[in-house]
């Protein structure tokens, strides 16, 4: 029965971890963003994130967005730099035209660091991105 369920491949959606200045608190923070590069809106977006390695596992975060408009982005969470020593997974599920899509975006341990930052045009900020 499980083999009969078809979940289409996700494209045009990305997760980025961005290093940016927080003007309110006067700090430099790492934030996670979801980017919708599609020409259609994404509905009921659910993001579940966790960090892990052989000895540790972080708490699980869940975030829901009712709507992520076409060609837009949204800030998901603040992420502590200590978590970059772990593998970080972001499982993203959403509806597009009444079809369910699901994909896990993975940042391997040690891949998020200042030396790996690149300009992300849609955000106009520097970060690390996973497609």
pLDDT digits (tens, 9 = 90+) for 92-111: 999 999 999 999 999 999 99
Strands 27-36 and 125-130 turn out to be unpaired
The rounded distance, in Å, linking the Cα atoms of 18 and 99 is: 30
Structure tokens at 77: 């969470």
CATH number, span 10-130: 2.60.40.1600
Average of per-residue pLDDT across 113-129: 95
Per-domain boundaries in the chain: 10-130
> pLDDT at residue 4 above 80?
no
pLDDT value of residue 111: 95
* Mean pLDDT of the chain, nearest integer: 94
Q: What Cα–Cα distance (Å) separates residue 63 from each residue in 23, 27, 66, 90?
A: 24, 24, 10, 10
- Give residue-wise pLDDT tens across range 42-89: 999 999 999 999 999 999 999 999 999 999 999 999 999 999 999 999
Would you state the pLDDT for residue 1? 60
Region 21-39 average pLDDT = 95
Q: Is the pLDDT of residue 2 over 70?
A: no
């Amino acid at each position: 029965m499980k083999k009969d369920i078809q979940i289409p491949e996700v494209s045009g959606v990305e997760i980025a971890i961005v290093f940016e200045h927080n003007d309110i608190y006067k700090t430099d923070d790492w934030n996670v963003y979801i980017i919708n590069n599609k020409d259609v809106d994404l509905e009921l977006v659910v993001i579940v994130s966790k960090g892990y390695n052989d000895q540790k596992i972080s708490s699980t975060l869940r975030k829901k967005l009712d709507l992520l408009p076409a060609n837009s982005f949204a800030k998901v969470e603040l992420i502590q730099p200590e978590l970059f020593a772990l593998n970080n997974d972001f499982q993203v599920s959403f509806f597009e035209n009444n079809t369910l899509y699901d994909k896990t975006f993975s940042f391997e341990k040690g891949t998020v660091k200042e030396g790996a930052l690149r300009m992300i045009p849609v955000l106009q900020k520097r970060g690390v991105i996973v497609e």
